[in-house]
Structure 1
């Protein structure tokens, strides 16, 4: 819920949450940094390390299937998608970026689970390096905030 005085989100707490992370290995130096920043931020937010599950898939196109497999386990409060797609000289960049993004969204909507999408799409390696830590941390904050929101909006029993 937002703070009515400042329009800011309330204090985030990951205590008791279970978070699943799917990391693409392609551009592994970037995705390893994304994963580390995300896990560090989740722990800073109070998520217990043993409640963080990290799985790896070959590339960004495989991330949605990994997310679906975790969502089907019905044990996570939120998921995180991590990857890095760097523009090349062919149309492949657009295909991978568009299809992975659509797949991530579809899994979230189909399973009713929040997914923080931190699949970077950059023009070059320099842009990816510049964003890897911030976007990894941002994904953790989004996952926790959305997990809290869905808990708040769930029908009372």
Structure 2
């Protein structure tokens, strides 16, 4: 078992899975790092490039609506939300963090479709950089693991 598949007795095989990724462009260098790590993880688990649809949106508040369109299409086994919200001096941080998170969770439950939520909510840019690669990688692994689990349970 590979180290990134914590707690699994067998490697995750994502061959044939279709995964949609929605990446917020706000804090672009950080979200691009998340996306690169996520894509590498998906490929490591056998998800083919042709089975990945990667789109970008302006910011974290727009992520749920793009995820919703993907979920409604019926073309995906799992989705991934990528973004980075850094605390500022106003209440806006809480609004964006809470609403984007709630939107992702609601879509997961409403559609019965796994969505790996890797929208970082951090105090500063240093915290974001410290987490970007690991959280991006984890998002790819979670998407594959949960898609396989839901297929097994159906």
State the TM-score bracket (shorter-chain normalisation).
over 0.9
Larger Rg: 1
| Alpha-carbon distance in 2 for matches of 1:70, 1:57 | 13
User: How far off its partner does 1:151 sit?
Assistant: 0.5
| Alpha-carbon distance in 2 for matches of 1:13, 1:91 | 42
| Alpha-carbon distance in 1 for matches of 2:91, 2:108 | 26
User: How far off its partner does 1:8 sit?
Assistant: 2.4
| Alpha-carbon distance in 2 for matches of 1:22, 1:58 | 10
TM-score computed with the length of structure 2 as normaliser? 0.94
Unaligned 5+ segments in structure 1 are 1-6
User: How far off its partner does 1:11 sit?
Assistant: 2.1
User: How far off its partner does 1:147 sit?
Assistant: 0.3
Unaligned 5+ segments in structure 2 are 1-5
**RMSD between superposed Cα atoms in Å:** 1.0
> Which of structure 1's runs of 4+ aligned residues deviate more than 4 A?
none
- Helix, strand or coil for the counterpart of 1:121? strand
| Alpha-carbon distance in 2 for matches of 1:50, 1:133 | 23
Q: Number of aligned pairs?
A: 148
TM-score computed with the length of structure 1 as normaliser? 0.92
The corresponding residue for 1:8 is 7
